[in-house]
Structure 1
Amino acid sequence: MTSNEAGPPSRYHHGDLRNALLAAGRTLLEEGGPTALSMREIARRVGVSAPAAYHHFSGLDDIAVALAERGFAELAERLQAAPSNAKGQLAPAGMAYVAFARKNPGLYRLMFGEGFHTAFAADDRIRSLRSAAYEVLKAGLSKRLPPDEIGTAALFLWSLTHGLALLMIDGQFDPGADPDALVAAVLRLSGKGLPTSAGSRDHA
């Protein structure tokens, strides 16, 4: 952009335009959700022309997939970093999952295809990253369940945490309730409903 062109000053370091575009896209996500994403607006916020952005991303679907990739990588890190012990408690991973969604509601919605269902359905990278998050949940169950029950239990836990995350970011809970306490209470109840092996009766 020349000094005579209208628009905000450049805010990216030379050679790092791709990351600057992704950062601007993420800000847009949290301001207005997936439908707010726009290549022109992303470029404007970084301080470059729209054609310059197309040197790094083929289009809006491409930048949405890249943002979702980063989101799933961060989510997997949060789940892996959640406290665990020999009893295989489930609540810490569930708390980390919902906390991620609450902190990044726009990104979380995008990660599961909101506004980009067609593009994401055809992208192997997204399917692989979703599977990786699922595997992290499965790993946490391996300490408390026999192998033939882990897959079903992991799907149960993912369904619960995903639904709970959406309810929380939509504000569909008692506004006077402590969100963290509410999530913890729901996860404790889920532990009572999960199948357990004969030698394990630990709750989440």
Structure 2
Amino acid sequence: MFLEFEPNQSGGGESKDAETYHGPINKNEAPAPYLGPATVCSLLHQDKAIDIRLPDGLFMKAIVAVAGFYRPQMGDTVLVICQENTRVYVIGVLSGSGLNTWTVPGDLVIHAPEGNIQIECAGAMKLKSKQKLDIISPRLALRATRLELSARRMVQKLDDAYLWVKDLFQLKSRSCRTVTEENFLVKAKRARLKSDGDFNINGKNIHLG
């Protein structure tokens, strides 16, 4: 397997402990073939390499060759592979703790022409756009225990609208206006209209009873 760990030599020739050393790592080529776990000891460098510590205590640089969204975090356990006197490559993630990020330089399309797309998470999910968010579908269903909408202005355009409320329906606003082009019907088992000021009824004909 790998050779013994050769610590950096400093002024007095003292070695650094393999568990705590996080200094510069210059070893880029493996002294022997290896396929197995390693511990991440640094964040991602500009050259897409990270510092890793092998089980025998040897510190090396490794190129991250994991397809997908993985961003290394210190303390993660990764799967590395190498041949003798070759670069070390990270080819898998055994235990990760960091934020996974998917970055593309241009447009991104997820297409499933013959199937469904399902996204699940145990925590919160957020959709964020700096310009506009469009949802286009012949049918849209929202199911939630509680639904909250917050906006500076809301505009709705519908052919027909039906709203069923099991218990209380309350609308609170500074002013309220309802405009209909034809009929306006209010039907209730009991009804009451109350005003702290003037109450005006204006119509061509007013029928009571």
Q: TM-score range by the shorter chain?
A: under 0.3
Structure ranking higher in strand proportion: 2
TM-score, reference length from structure 2: 0.24
TM-score, reference length from structure 1: 0.25
Higher RCO structure, 1 or 2 (CA under 8 Å, sep 6+): 1
Larger radius of gyration: 2
